[in-house]
């Protein structure tokens, strides 16, 4: 006979104001099997927990039902509580009478009735609970960082510094990411390369860090502490170990007309290339879309000039499979495509550029050697118009993004300031909806642009840009002045919204990590767990989680590293004992469960069973690896024979709950 204790929590006034807790406790006391029922102000407090433990001992309870907040909040707390009193922690059930009851109801009578019903369901379930024991699973002490931008580099450096091996997978031929393309950084105006490249070198020289460049994650299996990841290392047709990075091949290659993605297509590179001087690894890569040797078998110049003999036209993609304990996503961002914003004439005039292109035009390593020249005629521009929020803060999000891209106000102020400083003969206009500068020394920076550098900040949006007679006719409204403006500009710079990298969506599917509607990775809790994904063992670093500037990215990168280190120092993890369990006598071996299992936890074995008339039957039956199973329950509903059940959430238990609610 079960001896169940019911504990109804007031949660101060959170529950007690809408639910008559005393009535709930008294009503549930009459349920079959309940031998003790009480209410208390704060069950999760020290005194509340002691009350539970005392009742367990005094009334020799065999099951505990706590009517309180969501199990997401305090299930772990109360499991520890009952365990300390000598009860198996899985003989506890929580009825959520806060989030699912008191917080959503106004009428006290209805809320009280519902709380009783929820309590009754929990009592019906706990009657069928069985003691469960959690197993242990080992932790592979190696981390994977996906994305080698500043976020990934910082995370990897911090993890490596703590003594754990870490791999960076970068899809481009070099690590460094977007920050390599940036000229100066706000609000200090130090050069991005000067602060980034030492970190890139640190990463490459750190013996705990393995950089797998020009590679992409292809497959992820396993679970927290025990991931198995397959990485496709694309053929770069150059032996990374032999190449010295001398760059001779990149000078001799006859294919000169390849758009240079590092300079966003503003100039050209060769078919064999090193993205930029400080690339890490500093190894050449052959672009198979342009290389004459790879396309038609006629050329071979790079192989002839290479003294190291590093060129290998027959190189193949390589698949690397490695084990990891934790995975950090640092896939970063991309500026959006501007084809839906043709009012700004981006596709019509080369003098309308994005802010990232403007960075390249200002950069000493850029296509113009750092002199600001108009892309159309190479002349010095005199009037520059900056347009903010291009694609950000769009209503309805049909054309652009509904969110604020966060970094544009500051980099536009930076661009305006740098232009005025280098070229005092220019007139610089910035059109904005709002100027948003929350951040250390950010507002001071913006005010300097306005007050010291004389940048014309105009509240209002640009309506149309028309290329005409070598000029860009800008029509705009000045909302504060209440007038229409017409400016003959030489260049228009668009602060394009940023969006998550396109590779993030398929990656999220592989990692079973969730994303929001904008394809930014979702954090486990927006305030309290900002660097963890809801999927255990997956962590988030940088702009893949939301728009961020460099200081914020680096802060989050280090925070993610701290979480990873906290995981990797553990020798083993406690498994969730609520895993799937097949009834072999009922199992058909049909593979339905295997097909729906997102964790690859199910395998099949041929097993002997006793058949009729002393015969032996060999049947194919499912087996669940409890260390891999995460208890999602997909298999239990897919099984056509009802052979699969979830420990702690068995079909019988759930039906008992439903029966109790419908009673």
Partner 1 sequence: MQSRVIEKAASLLESGACTRVLGWKAGAFFYDVTPAVFTCAQEVREQMVFNPFCGANLSKYLIAESRKEGRIAVFLKPCDTFSFVQLQKEHRIARDKVWAVGVQCRGMCDIDSLKELGLKGVTAVEEAEDDLRVTTLYQEKTISRKEALSPRCHTCKSRKLLDCDELIGDQGQDLPSSRFAQVEALEAMTPEERFAFWRGELSKCIRCNACRNVCPACSCEKCVFDNPNSGVQNKAAASSFEENLFHIIRAFHVAGRCTDCGECTRVCPQHIPLHLLNRKFIKDMNEFYGPYQAGGDFDAKPPMLAFTLDDPEASIITNGRDGQ
In the complex, the residues that contact partner 1 under the rule CB under 8 A are: 509, 585-592, 595-596, 604, 617-620, 638, 640-643, 652, 655
Compute the distance between CA of residue 372 and CA of residue 359 in angstroms, rounded to an integer. 10
Reading the block at residue 591, the tokens are 């593979």
Report in angstroms how near the CB of residue 30 gets to partner 1 at its nearest: 25
Report in angstroms how near the CB of residue 601 gets to partner 1 at its nearest: 15
Cα 11 to chain centroid distance, Å, stands at 34
By three-state DSSP, how is residue 594 classified? Answer: helix
Report in angstroms how near the CB of residue 589 gets to partner 1 at its nearest: 5
Would you say 280 or 602 has its CB closer to partner 1? 602
Q: CA 569, 575, 579: angle at the middle one, nearest 5?
A: 160
Would you say 32 or 642 has its CB closer to partner 1? 642
Report in angstroms how near the CB of residue 277 gets to partner 1 at its nearest: 41
Would you say 266 or 634 has its CB closer to partner 1? 634
Compute the distance between CA of residue 117 and CA of residue 658 in angstroms, rounded to an integer. 10
Would you say 319 or 618 has its CB closer to partner 1? 618
User: Are 530 and 523 within 8 A, CB to CB?
Assistant: yes
Would you say 368 or 592 has its CB closer to partner 1? 592
Structural Rg of the chain based on CA atoms: 31
Report in angstroms how near the CB of residue 117 gets to partner 1 at its nearest: 21
Report in angstroms how near the CB of residue 653 gets to partner 1 at its nearest: 12
Report in angstroms how near the CB of residue 596 gets to partner 1 at its nearest: 5
Q: In degrees rounded to 5, what are phi and psi of residue 37?
A: -150, 130
Would you say 63 or 589 has its CB closer to partner 1? 589
Would you say 29 or 586 has its CB closer to partner 1? 586
Report in angstroms how near the CB of residue 663 gets to partner 1 at its nearest: 16
Neighbours of 601 (CB within 10 A): 24
Give 258's strand partners.
269
Burial (0-12, 13-18, 19+ Cβ within 10 Å), 314: exposed
| Beta-carbon contacts of residue 186 (< 8 Å; ≥ 6 apart) | 410, 411, 413, 414, 442, 445, 549
Neighbours of 436 (CB within 10 A): 19
Would you say 285 or 650 has its CB closer to partner 1? 650
Neighbours of 114 (CB within 10 A): 21
Report in angstroms how near the CB of residue 520 gets to partner 1 at its nearest: 16
Cα 248 to chain centroid distance, Å, stands at 40
Compute the distance between CA of residue 142 and CA of residue 147 in angstroms, rounded to an integer. 16
By three-state DSSP, how is residue 405 classified? Answer: coil
Would you say 38 or 623 has its CB closer to partner 1? 623
């Amino acid at each position: 006979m079960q001896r169940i204790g019911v504990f109804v929590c007031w949660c101060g006034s959170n529950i007690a104001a809408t639910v008559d807790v005393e009535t709930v406790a008294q009503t549930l006391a009459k349920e079959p099997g309940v031998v003790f029922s009480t209410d208390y102000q704060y069950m999760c407090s020290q005194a509340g927990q002691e009350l539970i433990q005392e009742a367990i001992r005094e009334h020799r309870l065999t099951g505990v039902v706590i009517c309180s907040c969501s199990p997401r909040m305090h299930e772990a707390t109360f499991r520890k509580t009952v365990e300390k009193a000598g009860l198996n922690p899985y003989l506890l059930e929580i009825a959520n009478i806060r989030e699912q009851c008191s917080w959503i109801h106004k009428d006290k009578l209805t809320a009280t009735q519902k709380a009783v019903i929820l309590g009754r369901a929990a009592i019906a379930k706990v009657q069928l609970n069985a003691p469960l024991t959690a197993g242990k699973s080992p932790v592979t002490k190696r981390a994977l960082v996906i994305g080698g931008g500043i976020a990934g580099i910082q995370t990897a450096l911090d993890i490596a510094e703590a003594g754990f091996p870490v791999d960076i997978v970068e899809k481009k031929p070099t690590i460094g990411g977007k920050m390599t393309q940036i000229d100066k950084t706000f609000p200090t105006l130090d050069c991005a390369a000067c602060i980034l490249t030492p970190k890139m070198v640190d990463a490459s020289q750190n013996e705990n860090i393995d950089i797998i460049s020009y590679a992409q994650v292809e497959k992820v299996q396993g679970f927290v502490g025990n991931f198995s990841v397959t990485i496709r290392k694309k053929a770069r047709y150059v032996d990374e170990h032999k190449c010295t990075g001398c760059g001779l091949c990149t000078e001799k290659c006859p294919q000169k007309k390849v758009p240079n993605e590092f300079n966003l297509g503003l100039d050209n590179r060769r078919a064999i290339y090193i993205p930029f001087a400080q690339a890490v690894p500093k190894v050449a890569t052959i672009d198979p879309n342009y290389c004459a040797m790879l396309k038609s078998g006629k050329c071979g110049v790079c192989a002839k000039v290479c003294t190291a003999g590093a060129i290998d036209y027959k190189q193949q993609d390589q698949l690397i499979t490695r084990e990891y304990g934790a995975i950090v996503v640092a896939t970063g961002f991309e500026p959006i495509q501007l084809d839906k914003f043709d009012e700004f004439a981006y596709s019509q005039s080369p003098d309308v550029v994005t802010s990232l292109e403007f960075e390249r035009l200002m950069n000493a390593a850029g296509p113009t050697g750092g002199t600001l020249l108009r892309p159309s005629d190479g002349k010095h521009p005199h009037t520059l118009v900056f347009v903010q929020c291009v694609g950000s803060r769009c209503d309805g999000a049909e054309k652009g993004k509904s969110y604020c891209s966060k970094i544009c106000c500051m980099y536009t102020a930076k661009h305006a300031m740098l232009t005025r400083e280098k070229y005092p003969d220019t007139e610089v206009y910035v059109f904005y909806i709002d100027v948003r500068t929350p951040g250390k020394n950010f507002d001071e920076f913006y005010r300097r642009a306005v007050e010291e550098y004389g940048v014309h900040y105009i509240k209002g949006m640009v309506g149309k840009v028309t290329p005409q007679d070598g000029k860009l006719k800008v029509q705009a409204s000045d909302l504060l002045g209440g007038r229409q403006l017409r400016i003959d500009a030489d260049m228009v710079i668009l602060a394009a919204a940023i969006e998550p990298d396109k590779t993030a969506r398929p990656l999220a599917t592989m990692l079973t990590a969730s994303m929001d509607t904008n394809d930014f990775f979702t954090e486990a809790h927006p305030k309290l767990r900002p660097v963890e994904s809801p999927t255990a063992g997956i962590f988030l670093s940088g702009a893949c989680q939301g728009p961020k500037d460099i200081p914020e990215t680096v802060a989050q990168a280090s925070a993610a590293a701290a979480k990873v280190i906290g995981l990797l120092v553990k020798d083993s993890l406690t498994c969730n004992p609520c895993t799937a369990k097949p009834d072999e006598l009922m199992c058909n071996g049909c593979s339905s469960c295997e097909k729906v299992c997102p964790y690859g936890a199910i395998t099949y074995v041929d097993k002997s069973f006793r058949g009729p008339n002393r015969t032996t039957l060999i049947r194919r039956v499912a087996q669940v690896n409890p260390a891999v199973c995460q208890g999602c329950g997909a298999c239990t509903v897919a099984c056509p024979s009802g052979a699969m059940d979830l420990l702690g959430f068995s079909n019988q238990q759930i039906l008992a709950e439903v029966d109790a609610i419908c009673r």
